[in-house]
């Protein structure tokens, strides 16, 4: 071989090696980066080139894949009872992406999860159409419907939990929206997307997990727990040294109770919770101090996010408050904030003898052939209190329903414990209060459920809004649905 030909051959060999190196670099090292590039629409087209797997509630799919045979998209997502299940499923849109379970479980639903490789390979070899896997939720269809019907045209949210496992049995937020109206690429979908995002009522906001509210008097459950756990009081019938009215420590500000008929001066803990005495629990919180109050709140989940797998907003019990601020924080006002999920967790821990289980929404993932590829394992979030304290808290909550402000939650033949709350908000507390109710119920067969309800800005006059009137009946309906009563 002469010298010029040898040089050309070597040069060609170098080019081939460079091409091979570049190809392997792109396909190996940079594959994920190119696949996730915002300008790469191929994966988006592929996602709707075959039927998407379903999100399942009570053995029935609440999602569908409709064949549309479009130029770029062959299938489009649709929902059964979309507005009711939107907080559970989220949306999956050809144009606007996805959120909620549709996003977090996309690998299974779209069939791209590595655990579905064998199924996909088999379908390819047999000529079967590729299909996504299913996501089976923990939602109880009857409880979800009861929560949805109970809220009706009210603005608010409901969360129901199984105290023993942490399974989320109901997850409702109103007002809501139909994810199917934004799932396609038509002009109507674009208009729906614009209208939904411009709506001041925020129908796309998952209030159950993503919105925090002042929890009002429902937070007194945390304060009473802290008092027992730290030895400030021993028994539910212990009298408290509480003046009425109560001057917040270090200030001239006088805290009063809601009604002049309440007998809150030196009330027992039980009587104070039955009547929901602000003075009793504000002083209790101040006596404990911010550090003990914060430590107890965090055992219930405050100041932490919860991945259900949809991540909740963090509920807040503040760290840097003056003593008068701690007194107000301890009755669920001032800087204390909570999601409906958080207040359901408080009731669930009390009902489960102090053991707080981590809330979860997905029971299992499975292939299109119904083979289970993952099953949820229950986990303890914390030991929120001792069993002895939990028993005292159960007694207190039962008394609230039997004798106090929560009588609208009574269910014949079922033990029910609850706590009402009416949380002030707005500048100078000028806004209509938020109506709260958090509760649990136990049947004779051992089945139990914990529920939290919040209703925003009710339509009645300010004096007519309370957790007992607005929120407790909704919680009752959900508890009945779960327990079959």
CB 253, CB 277: distance < 8 Å: no
The model's confidence at residue 9, banded by pLDDT at 50, 70 and 90, is confident
Residue 85 has a pLDDT of 98
Global pTM reads 0.90
CA distance 190 to 237: 60
The 3-state DSSP class for residue 440 equals: strand
- CA-CA distance, 62 to 139, in Å (whole number)? 11
What is the chain's alpha carbon radius of gyration, rounded to the nearest angstrom? 27
Q: Are 50 and 109 in contact (CB under 8 A)?
A: no
The rounded percent of the chain whose pLDDT value lies above 70 is: 90
* pLDDT for position 280: 97
Higher per-residue pLDDT: 130 or 354: 354
- Return the half-sphere exposure (C-beta side, CA atoms, 13 A cut-off) of residue 469: 12
Over residues 306-322, the pLDDT tens digits come to 999 999 999 999 987 79
pLDDT tens digits for range 425-457: 555 555 678 999 999 999 999 999 999 999 997
Report, as residue numbers or ranges, the catalytic residues: 217
- What is the pLDDT confidence band of residue 122, given thresholds at 50, 70 and 90? low
With pLDDT > 90 as the criterion, what percentage of the chain qualifies?
Answer: 75
Q: Write down the H helix ranges in 36-164.
A: 42-47, 82-89, 100-104, 106-110, 117-126, 141-151
Q: How far apart are CA 269 and CA 280, in angstroms?
A: 8
Name 64's bridge partners. Answer: 78
pLDDT, tens only, 85-109? 999 999 999 999 999 999 999 999 9
Confidence of residue 462 (pLDDT cuts 50, 70, 90): very low
Q: Rounded to the nearest 10 degrees, what angle do helices 82-89 and 141-151 cross at? A: 110
**What is the structure's pLDDT at 458?**
54
Q: Cα–Cα distance between 6 and 147 in angstroms, integer?
A: 81
Mean pLDDT calculated for residue range 244-248: 94
pLDDT given at position 70: 73
- Work out the pLDDT band at 152, boundaries 50, 70, 90: very high
Q: Predicted confidence band at 423 (pLDDT cuts at 50, 70, 90)? A: confident
The mean pLDDT of 340-369, rounded to a whole number, is 97
Question: Domain 212-360+384-483 classified CATH 3.40.605.10?
Answer: no
Q: What is the mean pLDDT of residues 213-238?
A: 97
- Are 42 and 145 contacting, i.e. CB atoms less than 8 angstroms apart? no
pLDDT mean over 244-272: 91
3-state secondary structure of 67: strand
pLDDT for 195 beyond 80: yes
pLDDT-derived band of residue 289, with 50, 70 and 90 as boundaries? very high
Per-residue pLDDT band for 40 (boundaries 50, 70, 90) equals low
* pLDDT for the residue numbered 23: 75
3-state secondary structure of 167: strand
How many helices and strands, by DSSP H and E, does the chain display? 18, 18
Token output for 250: 């270090």
Give the separation between CA 424 and CA 46, rounded to whole angstroms: 50
Rounded Cα distance between 123 and 346, Å, is 47
| Predicted local confidence at residue 464, as pLDDT | 43
pLDDT at residue 461, rounded to an integer: 43
Confidence grade of residue 459 (pLDDT, cut at 50, 70, 90): very low
My answer on whether omega of the bond before 175 falls inside 30° of 0, hence cis, is: yes
Residue 5 pLDDT level (bands cut at 50, 70, 90) = confident
């Amino acid at each position: 071989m002469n010298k010029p030909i040898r040089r050309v051959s070597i040069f060609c060999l170098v080019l081939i090696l460079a091409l091979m190196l570049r190809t392997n670099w792109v396909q190996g090292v940079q594959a994920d980066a190119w696949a996730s590039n915002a300008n790469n629409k191929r994966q988006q087209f592929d996602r709707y080139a075959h039927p998407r797997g379903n999100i399942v509630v009570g053995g029935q799919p609440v999602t569908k894949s409709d064949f549309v045979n479009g130029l770029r998209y062959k299938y489009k997502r649709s929902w059964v009872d979309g507005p009711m299940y939107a907080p559970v499923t989220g949306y999956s849109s050809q144009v606007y992406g996805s959120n909620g379970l549709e996003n977090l479980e996309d690998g299974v639903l779209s069939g791209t999860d590595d655990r579905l490789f064998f199924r996909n390979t088999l379908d390819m070899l047999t000529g079967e159409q590729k299909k996504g896997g299913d996501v089976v939720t923990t939602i109880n269809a009857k409880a979800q419907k009861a929560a949805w019907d109970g809220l009706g045209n009210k603005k608010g949210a409901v969360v129901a939990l199984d105290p023993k496992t942490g399974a989320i049995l109901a997850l409702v937020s109103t007002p809501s929206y139909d994810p199917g109206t934004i799932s396609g690429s038509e002009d109507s979908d674009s208009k729906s997307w614009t209208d939904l995002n411009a709506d001041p009522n925020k129908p796309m906001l998952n209030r159950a997990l993503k919105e925090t509210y002042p929890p009002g008097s429902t937070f007194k459950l945390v304060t009473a727990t802290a008092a027992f756990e730290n030895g400030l009081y021993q028994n539910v019938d212990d009298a408290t040294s509480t003046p009425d009215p109560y001057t917040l420590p270090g200030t001239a500000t006088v805290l009063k109770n809601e009604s002049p008929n309440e007998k809150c001066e030196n009330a027992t803990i039980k009587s104070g919770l039955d009547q929901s005495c602000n003075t009793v629990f504000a002083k209790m919180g101040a006596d404990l101090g911010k550090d003990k109050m914060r430590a107890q709140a965090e055992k219930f989940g405050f100041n932490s996010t919860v991945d259900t797998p949809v991540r909740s907003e963090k509920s807040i019990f503040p760290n840097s408050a003056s003593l008068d601020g701690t007194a107000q924080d301890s009755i669920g006002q001032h800087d204390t904030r909570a999601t409906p999920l958080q207040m359901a967790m408080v009731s669930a821990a009390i009902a489960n003898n102090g053991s707080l289980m981590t809330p979860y929404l997905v029971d299992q993932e499975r292939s299109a052939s119904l083979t289970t590829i993952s099953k949820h394992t229950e986990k303890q979030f914390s030991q929120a209190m001792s069993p002895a304290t939990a028993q005292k808290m159960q007694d207190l909550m039962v008394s609230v329903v039997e004798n106090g402000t929560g009588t609208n939650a009574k269910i014949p033949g079922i033990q029910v414990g609850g706590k009402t709350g009416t949380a002030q908000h707005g500048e100078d507390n000028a806004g209509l209060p938020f109506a709260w109710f958090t509760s649990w119920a136990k049947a004779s067969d051992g089945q139990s459920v914990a529920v939290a309800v919040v209703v925003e800005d009710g339509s009645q006059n300010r004096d007519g809004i309370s957790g007992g009137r607005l929120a407790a009946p909704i919680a009752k309906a959900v508890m009945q649905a779960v327990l079959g009563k």
